[in-house]
Each structure stands twice: as C-alpha cells, then as structure tokens.
Amino acid sequence: MQNKTLRFLFLGDIVGEPGKALFEKWVPQLKRKHKIDSVIVNGENAAKNGRGLMPHDFEFLKKNGASVVTTGNHIWAHKKIYQCIAENETLIRPANYPAGAPGKGYVLFDVEGISVGVINVAGRVFMKEDLDCPFRAVESLLTFLSTKTKIIFIDFHAEATSEKKVFGFHFDGKVSGVMGTHTHVQTADERILPNGTSFISDLGFSGAMNSALGVNKSIVTEHFLTQMPIAFKVAKEGPFAVNGVCVEVDVETGKSLKIERVSIVDDELTILSE
C-alpha cells in the first residue's frame, strides 16, 4: 500500500569540509525526527575550497543520504565533474544552460515506489552567466515531467528574491515545491502558496556561521577593502549552521501540505584546519 504522503528534506548549499561534516552528522538525525523519505541537497560548493564539487564530494553526499544533488553557477569549477555529471543522473545542473553542457537539468527517481521529479534551474537577475530563460526552460520540462509524476520540485538557484518570488507564483499549482538556493542566507518566508506549492526564497547553507557565506570573513573583507583578487578559503571555526526545510506532499495530488524550516546551530562540531 502506498503512503498517502511523502516527506522530503531540502538542505541549502553545502560549503566545503564543514558543510559535508554537518551533512554527515545531522541528516540521519533529521531523517529520524521528521520521518523523512528522501533528501535533496544543493552540493555546488561542497569542494574542499568551497567552490564547485568533485566526484568524491558527490559520492560522499550520496553515501550519507542524499537522493539527489542539485547544483548552480559553480558546477563547472572543477573539470573532473564533467564526466561524473554525465554518468550520474542524480547529480543535476541548471536546465537552462545551453544545449551541449554535460549532464541534465532534471531527474526522475523513485521514493517508496512513487516517481518523483526534481528540476534544477538558475536565475538571471544579478547572475553573471548568460543563460536561457528559467521560466521557459521549466515550462518546457513540465510538458514531459507532468506526464510521469505529480510530485515535482524545483531548486531555483538565483540571487534576487524578487525573481524567486515571481517564479514561485508562476509555477504555483504546477509543481509541488520551489526551493531557492544560492545566497547562503536562509529566509523566513517559507509558506504554502495559494495553489499548493511549497516555497522558500532561500534554503540557506551548511557551514561556519561567523563567516562570509562560509568563506573566511577576514579574506573577504580584504577583498572588499582593496578590490584586489584574492584566493578565498573556507571558514572552519564554529559555531556552524545547518539550514533547510522539511516538506510533506500529498501523493494523490502532488500538492504540499506542510513546510517547516530547519535551522540548527552546532557549536560542538570540530573541523581540523590545514
């Protein structure tokens, strides 16, 4: 007998070694507490240097409970990921990259015998990449995915809350949820939109709290003061944060029934500095 509902955990951008350590520690606990059926995480900053991800970072997230790993504008930071994303359908990149980019922008996977779709797409406001329209990219994908499942989530990797809000309302009732990522700052606007789509402008991140979005704050301050190029380093001193949401979805309709923000402060985790 199929479940009447499914419960999903979405986690914001995983930043470097601290982010992965937090993922390993907290995902099992969150799955038990919230009775989670599937975990979807943005891993585009999981690499050791906090930019992009390597194949072993993807494998780490999968091993420790991720059903799907989404990404964003830093996906191409390490060339070794090119073949990995082409060979692993549960590692996805923004669907509005031009044709010919490795990998795909969506995935269909099984959760408790039920097909679930996830779309990854990037915004264009204040973003450097010259990408196709995210609205039209998703509309095109939905002509196919909506024939396969009623449960579809979107990771909208974008900068501007205005773009994210409008995007959420545009697809309200057409998908189960729209989860914003990219800014690494968790917003407090989680809600169920009028037609049943769960929404949050940004999930937040997993990384060091006393940092510049997970990066050593002193280095970033120097960059702002001097405007000189400088190599960023991931912050490894606590306290640390784990941000995301839990979403419950009705299997029959694909509509979200509940969204609950997750915000954990961990001051016990220790990350060894190099």
Closest CA to 181 of 29, 44, 19: 44
| Closest C-alpha among 16, 8, 77, 3 to residue 269 | 16
Mean predicted confidence (pLDDT) in 10-28: 97
pTM of the model: 0.95
Question: What share of the chain in percent tops pLDDT 90?
Answer: 92
- Three-point CA angle 116, 119, 121, nearest 5°: 170
Higher pLDDT, 26 or 231: 26
Whether CATH 3.40.50.300 fits 5-266: no
Token match 């189960």: residue? 176
Contact 57, 23 (CB under 8 A): no
* pLDDT band at residue 1 using 50, 70 and 90 as cut-offs: very low
pLDDT > 70 fraction of the chain, expressed in percent and rounded = 98
Question: Contact, 264 vs 47, CB < 8 A?
Answer: no
Catalytic residue positions, numbered: 74
The predicted structure's pLDDT at residue 129: 76
Res. 3: pLDDT tops 90: no
Residues 99-157: tens digit of each pLDDT: 899 999 999 999 999 999 999 999 999 987 789 999 999 999 999 999 999 999 999 99
Least confident span in 70-74, 88-92, 183-187, 226-230: 226-230
Rounded Cα–Cα distance for residues 255 and 173 (Å): 7
pLDDT digits (tens, 9 = 90+) for 148-189: 999 999 999 999 999 999 999 999 999 999 999 999 999 999
What angle, 0 to 180 degrees and rounded to 10, lies between the N-to-C axes of helices 55-63 and 16-34?
A: 20
Dump the DSSP string for 204-244.
-EEEESSSBTTB-HHHHHHHHHH-------B---S-EEEEE
